[in-house]
Amino acid sequence: MFGRLLPQEGRFFDYFNSHAEQIVLGAQELVALMEDLGAAEKHIDAIETIENAADKITHETVAQLHKSFITPLDRDEIHGLINAMDDVLDTIQDVAECTTLYHIQRVTPEALQLANVSLACCTRVKIVVGLISNMDNASAILQTCQEIDRLESDADRIMRSAMSKLFRDERDALQVMKLKAIYEQLEGITDRCEDVAKIVEGIVLENA
């Protein structure tokens, strides 16, 4: 059993877990933003604070990578994973900022649905990242990665349906452009989560 425990030098798993917590916090704030545009500034500020905290964790991870002689995972895997996780929060922040940049006045049910699917994806990213320190968790890790992939497919379907409805029913061309961009960015959060899942699957296949 002990041979399946990955070496712990460098606190890398602590960094991954801390970053994943920020991802979930950011996704929760995004849902709150979509539910309450009237308090947009408060939620956007909160997301910016969360993203800055995650950036600090990313920088600490990379710095530790340069200092560590022994690492629990391949160096490229560590670098790729923390950067892929950072991309999730960057995309969340992009969506939040665009609600004010595009002067979004109302949130459609489809946008809120996409935000909730994104939160579900981010929650599973946190779960899967918390499992990778022990390859005895390989089966649970791969199952959770499959759940992320399924949620990404769900987001694709929601976005396609939302786009169809938008182009069919919305008469304001400017509103079409704005909502199209928001839908695509929201779906992009699940794409970035899927990127994390693919890296984790690779780690499992290499180390399990």
Q: For residue 67, count other CB atoms closer than 10 A to its CB.
A: 8
Which class for 154: exposed (0-12), middle (13-18), buried (19 or more C-beta within 10 A)?
middle
Q: What is the pLDDT along the chain (208 residues), one digit of tens a residue?
A: 333 444 455 589 999 999 999 999 999 999 999 999 989 999 999 999 999 999 999 999 999 988 888 888 889 999 999 999 999 999 999 999 999 888 888 889 999 999 999 999 999 999 999 999 998 999 999 999 999 999 999 999 999 999 999 999 888 888 889 999 999 999 999 999 999 999 999 999 888 6
Predicted pLDDT of residue 171:
85
Taking the C-alpha atoms of residue 161 and residue 33, their distance in angstroms, rounded to an integer, is 22
Helix (H/G/I), strand (E/B), else coil: 134: strand
Q: Which of 163, 171, 159, 155 is nearest to 122 (CA)?
A: 155
Predicted pLDDT of residue 9:
55
Q: In sequence order, what are the residues at sequence separation of 6 or more whose Cβ sits closer than 8 angstroms to the Cβ of residue 127?
A: 144
Predicted pLDDT of residue 1:
37
Helix (H/G/I), strand (E/B), else coil: 102: coil
Taking the C-alpha atoms of residue 65 and residue 50, their distance in angstroms, rounded to an integer, is 23
Q: DSSP character for 201?
A: H
Q: Which fold has domain 2-207?
A: Methane Monooxygenase Hydroxylase; Chain G, domain 1 (1.20.58)
CA distances from 165 to 85, 107, 176, 183 (A): 32, 14, 10, 12
Enter the pTM of the model.
0.92
Helix residue ranges, H only, 102-172: 109-131, 138-169
Q: DSSP character for 104?
A: -
| Cβ proximity of 125 and 201 under 8 Å | no
Q: Which of 157, 155, 148 is nearest to 198 (CA)?
A: 148
Tokens of 184: 């695509």
